[in-house]
Structure 1
Amino acid sequence: MFRLRLALPLIALSVLTLGGCSIGESMVDPYKRPGTWRPMGANALNLELQVARPADLVQGRGTVEADGDSAAKAIERLRNDKVKPLPQSSISSVGSSGGSSGGGS
């Protein structure tokens, strides 16, 4: 019993002491282990290639073509239930056909 009382604080002290030891960054981060996939910046490169001006990724730019009057009139028509109908188009007939019969054997 006396040995257990003496050993318990020593065990607790060694656990606390070893808990502060660094096991190395490569043991903690799975991306830094040898043979594993590493992010190479492909997403950032693709985005940079797709934008018109790469400087916009650093700081955006405003628009000079904004027409608040036009937007306000559209909201007013919506609130007064006087929305303009969409123009007729023959490009797509989605929803206007009866669909297929789906016949089988």
Structure 2
Amino acid sequence: MHIRLLLALPLLAATGCAQFDPYRREGTWRPSAANEQNLATMAVAPAERVRGTGAAGAMGFTAAGAIERLQADRVKPLPDTGVARIITVPGGGSN
């Protein structure tokens, strides 16, 4: 009797896991067949396989400039919002 109860206990505990499943929680991303849609677009328009098209209003030029600055080690500093000050402490974090 006790063995059956011990074997059933993990099953009962697992039934409450659905609320913590990242694909079932409210407000989280859910798979939407985006890969299949992209493949279908590339099959219809073969040029999409070589060079895709950006979304309307996309800031590709701005993003490309940011990547170039990152690779050249010329990153722009973040603007000072005055909300919080972050102070680095030498040797902090390694114990």
TM-score of the aligned structures, taking structure 1 as reference length: 0.38
Larger radius of gyration: 1
TM-score of the aligned structures, taking structure 2 as reference length: 0.41
